[in-house]
Amino acid sequence: MSSAHQPPYFLGLDLGGTNVKGGVVDDTGQTFPSVSQLTRATLGPESGINTLAEVARLAVEASGLDWKDIAGVGLGSPGTMDLGEGLLLDPPNLPGWQNFPIRKKLAERLGKPLVLQNDGNAAAYGEFWIGAGRDAESLVMFTLGTGIGCGIIDHGRLVVGRHSNGAECGHLVIQMENARQCSCGAYGHLEAYASATSLVRRAVEALEEGTPSRLQEVWSKGNLSSRTIAEAAEAGDALGRTLMRETARYLAIGAVCLMNTIDPDIVLFGGGMIAAGSILLDDIKRDVKSLAFPIPAAKTRIEYASLGGAAGYIGAAGCARLAHSSHASDPNRLLTS
Amino acid sequence: MSSAHQPPYFLGLDLGGTNVKGGVVDDTGQTFPSVSQLTRATLGPESGINTLAEVARLAVEASGLDWKDIAGVGLGSPGTMDLGEGLLLDPPNLPGWQNFPIRKKLAERLGKPLVLQNDGNAAAYGEFWIGAGRDAESLVMFTLGTGIGCGIIDHGRLVVGRHSNGAECGHLVIQMENARQCSCGAYGHLEAYASATSLVRRAVEALEEGTPSRLQEVWSKGNLSSRTIAEAAEAGDALGRTLMRETARYLAIGAVCLMNTIDPDIVLFGGGMIAAGSILLDDIKRDVKSLAFPIPAAKTRIEYASLGGAAGYIGAAGCARLAHSSHASDPNRLLTS
């Protein structure tokens, strides 16, 4: 434990379909080493509570602090959820965890105040607190992976919504007619165009049509992914470049919709797809400039997130800190048990 | 003056391209009689200040109160604007008013604390305070007229944005390919599909193609408007019905985008187009149910605004009240001079 760390200390947990991550963060946002374990979600929620408790124990151990030093715990989880009640409702990434009172169960198990937050919101809050958005007052973050997660902070406050459906901006409708189907079943959503899954699907469509590309060989070997498509684009492959260019335009449209709704200081993109590097970010920036109104186009920063996969647990710890210190009237306060 | 009115009293002013409206509202949201004068915007902003001051004087006179009873003034204005600086920047509806320091000029003239707010935000705040959204904590309002205005309240707080570009949701992109052009010059915006102007344009396109309809005669007489189209739909005209049905679908898509971003208690539609009555609202509700996620679809109320053209000045007065009573850290506080 570094002497530079300042109490109180908060434990952040990031519950994903594959892994549970956890780590302690101090009052100033300085982190301690993090830990990770497989979720094994199919074993069900009671087993999941055991895993979360084990990650919590290991994370505090890794911090060198005592358990009693932890002032509160934040848990980021995939939805759907009821934040007011502290319930998981029907989370697609956690099969068998329906209607599970996760906040109460985990708070009892850990014996600490616990705040539940949506994973997209938690990641956005992490970037807002100590990441690429640390100088911002308002922030929008898109997490680009299998789907598209989102989190919004408006003047320092998470936009959680009134039915725990705030910041589900992967499901903005950006195309009404002849629209692609989203993983959620509806049509024309941002996620159906710009997620890693959609990028690969669009690549397969072009490759099936016989478009010449070095991606034909990658595809035949079963190695087609957002990463190999971005690599082909970087190496000058025309199809790869077209696919990444389209992706940037879709993401720019998503950014502009939020610039005309929330009007943040900064729009961040995080998640696995940002491994594509500056080629994607530069394309997004160019399209935002041409699609947005002049003032937000000139003033809104468009950047990559900086915390990688740590944003979730760091932000969850930040939400615990927020609940610890905020007024009773603050909606972010209401998520605690 | 009714003895039921409670101090402090706030004066609301609604600056439009055609009219300036004004009225006094008490601390509980009870209104006094309102007044209105022509803006005559082309005479320029200095003349405009005279008109605003005259409407202010008449409104206080109409209330039966003394000028000294007015604790603060709220002004709703069309943008573009810089709310932090209290400037009009380049308002299309107020030609010649560019870069005008309206907040300072009017505050000096009236000798009262003055809060400047975007007109769409002010109208939304009026409905939130004493109108159709008075039971809500979070609200989205679309004002359907020549264009589409919008205002958002998230947990009691206006979403003004960081560059005074919050809640410009008439400019959400809902169609990327083969998209209609918006009045702002860009393509595919909600306003380009669902405003009264767009409704008439879509009608003309169908009538030019020779679609049989009682609207052919209305058109030939120069009487085509959102109102006559809605009347034709109500009377069973197939083209009128199709046009209104399409309009409802576009508006439902706009509502769903906001339900997946802000997730409010209620989405309100106001402005001239709601004269179409229950036929339009029922269509919007049906489409929202089919397009939104199950929980927000079941729980989010979709309704018409209730204050009509008074929402703007009432909301402006409400913003003055908010600034009068709020904490220094509140972003809504920062709009005053």
Question: Helix, strand or coil for residue A75?
Answer: strand
Whole-angstrom Cα distance, residue A189 to residue A170? 7
Q: Are B39 and B15 in contact (CB under 8 A)?
A: yes
Half-sphere exposure of A7 (CA within 13 A, CB side): 8
Q: Is residue B3 part of a domain?
A: no
Let me know whether A156 and A269 are in one domain.
Answer: yes
- Indicate whether B156 belongs to any domain: yes
A31 shares its domain with A111: yes
- Domain membership flag for residue A178: yes
Q: What is the mean pLDDT of chain B?
A: 95
Closest CB to B261: pick one of A155, A169, A186.
A169
Half-sphere exposure of B145 (CA within 13 A, CB side): 12
Q: Is residue A1 part of a domain?
A: no
The pTM assigned to this predicted structure is 0.95
For the segment B179-230, what is each residue's pLDDT rounded down to a tens digit? 999 999 999 999 999 999 999 999 999 999 999 999 999 999 999 999 999 9
What's the CA gap between B201 and B208, in Å, rounded? Answer: 10
As given in the structure block, the two tokens for residue B23 are 């009225």
Chains A, B: CB pairs < 8 Å:
146
| Contact check, Cβ <8 Å, A176/B175 | yes
Mutate to test the interface with B, among A80, A139, A162 (most CBs of B within 10 A): A162
Determine, yes or no, domain membership for B2. Answer: no
Q: Is the pLDDT reported for residue A1 higher than 50?
A: no
**Residue A326 confidence class, pLDDT cut points 50, 70, 90:** confident
Q: Return the half-sphere exposure (C-beta side, CA atoms, 13 A cut-off) of residue B186.
A: 24
The pairing of strands B19-25 and B35-38 is antiparallel
Q: What is the pLDDT of residues A185-238, one digit of tens each?
A: 999 999 999 999 999 999 999 999 999 999 999 999 999 999 999 999 999 999
Instruction: Strands of B78-174 (E only): list them.
Output: 81-82, 87-88, 114-118, 139-144, 148-154, 157-158
Q: Which domain holds residue B23?
A: 9-125+309-335
Chain B residue at shortest CA distance from A246: B176
Same domain, B42 and B160: no
Bridge partners, B219 (sequence order): none
Q: Give yes or no: residues A179 and A294 share one domain.
A: yes
Instruction: Pick left, alpha or beta for residue A229 (phi over 0 → left; psi -120 to 50 → alpha; otherwise beta).
Output: alpha
Contact list, B155 vs chain A (CB under 8 Å): 157, 331
Report the chain B residue with the minimal C-alpha distance to residue A152. Answer: B261
Structure tokens at A214: 């070095």
Amino acid, single-letter form, for residue B329: S
Closest CA to B21 of B101, B166, B126: B126
Same domain flag for A300 and A199: yes
Q: What angle do CA B278, B283, B287 make, to 5 degrees?
A: 150
Residue A128: both structure tokens together: 């807002």
Q: What is the pLDDT of residues B124-151, one digit of tens each?
A: 999 999 999 999 999 999 999 999 999 9
pLDDT at B1 over 70: no
Tens of pLDDT, residues B62-71 = 999 999 999 9
How many helices (H) does chain B have, and how many strands (E)?
11, 12
**Phi and psi at residue B215, to the nearest 5°:** -70, -20
Same domain as A225, residue A287:
yes
Per CB-CB distance under 8 Å, the chain B contacts of A155 are: 157, 331
The answer to whether the beta carbons of residues A83 and A329 sit under 8 Å apart is no
Query: For A80, which residue in chain B has the nearest alpha carbon?
Result: B295
B182 alpha-carbon distance from chain centroid: 18
Judge if A91 and A147 occupy the same domain.
no
Tokens for A245, please give them. 């260019």
Q: Give the CA-trace dihedral at A288, A290, A292, A296, to 10 degrees.
A: 80
* Residue A282 to residue A279: CA distance in whole angstroms: 5
A107 and A138 fall within a common domain: no
Condensed to tens digits (0 to 9), the pLDDT of residues B226-267 reads: 999 999 999 999 999 999 999 999 999 999 999 999 999 999
Average pLDDT for A314-336 = 75
CA A272 – CA A327 distance, rounded (Å): 36
Interface confidence (ipTM) of the complex: 0.95
Q: Does residue A4 sit within a domain?
A: no
Q: Do A190 and A264 share a domain, yes or no? A: yes
Of B157, B174, B295, the CB nearest to A80: B295
Chain A, nearest residue to B264 by Cα: A162
Quote the longest CA-to-CA distance of chain B: 63
Q: What's the rounded Cα separation, in Å, for the pair A18 and B29? A: 52
Chain centroid to Cα A251, Å, comes to: 15
Same domain, B179 and B87: no
What SS3 class is residue B307?
Answer: coil
> Which secondary structure element, helix H or strand E, spans residue B10, and what is its range?
strand B9-15
Domain co-membership, B30 together with B113: yes
Neighbour count for residue B270 (Cβ, 10 Å): 29
Question: Do A86 and A56 have their domain in common?
Answer: yes
The pLDDT value given to residue A240: 98
Specify if A2 maps to a domain.
Answer: no
Q: Give the confidence band of B326 by pLDDT, cuts at 50, 70, 90.
A: confident
Chain B residues in contact with A89 by the CB 8 A cut-off are 295
Question: How large is the average pLDDT for residues A10-31?
Answer: 97
Number of domains, chain B: 2
* Coil, helix or strand at residue A123: helix
d(CA A217, CA A224) in angstroms, rounded, equals 9
CA distance A244 to B6: 61
CA torsion, ordered A105, A108, A109, A112, to nearest 10 deg = 120
Could B165 and A293 be called an inter-chain contact, meaning their C-beta atoms sit closer than 8 Å? yes
Question: Do B293 and A184 lie within an 8 Å CB cutoff?
Answer: yes
> How close does chain B come to A331, measured CA to CA in Å?
7
CATH number at residue B28: 3.30.420.40
Residue B130 lies in a domain: no
